[in-house]
Amino acid sequence: MHSSFKSVQEILEKTKNEIVVNGSDLPQDVKDMLCYIRKNLFNDSLTISEMRNDLRILNKNYAARFKLYTGYNPKIYIIVKRLETAKKILTKTELSITQVSIALGFLSHSSFSKIFIKSFGISPSKWIDEELNSDKNSQK
């Protein structure tokens, strides 16, 4: 179990480090939002309104500016990063879906599963089964 915890920590840190904040073409407000998201990505209390308050974002067009540079509005960006990380953890560790959902900052197993299904068209457990079967087939 200790190795699973270490693997999860490594995956979480790697995901945070993949969020590029220092791009020269990024305006400062977008850099600030990316930095904030990177720092708080897996915090279950992370909200967009909290981010706006903490960063003192007054511009009503902040989401459109963020999307212009990242391809997603802030809320969707956070979900995408969490789901990408979930896939890595689910295939590389023995943690349960509930443990993974909590580690990634989802409020419950149920909310994680709903978002996973909405994004990928399949439940997390079925996705794991398919991934494990495809890995076995590719090793033959």
Domain that holds residue 125: 2-139
Q: What is the pLDDT of residue 1?
A: 41
pLDDT tens for the chain, residues 1 to 140 = 445 667 888 888 888 888 877 766 899 999 999 999 999 999 999 999 999 999 999 988 999 999 999 999 999 999 999 999 999 999 888 899 999 999 999 999 999 999 999 999 999 999 999 988 886 666 65
Q: Indicate the length of the chain as a whole number.
A: 140
Q: What is the pLDDT of residue 2?
A: 44
| Dist CA 116 CA 131 (whole Å) | 15
Q: Select from 37, 51, 46, 28 the least CA-distant residue to 105.
A: 46
Contact yes or no for 62/43 (Cβ under 8 A) = no
The number of domains in the chain is: 1
| Dist CA 121 CA 16 (whole Å) | 26
Query: Can you give the pTM of this predicted structure?
Result: 0.86
Q: What is the pLDDT of residue 6?
A: 75
What is the CATH number for 128?
1.10.10.60
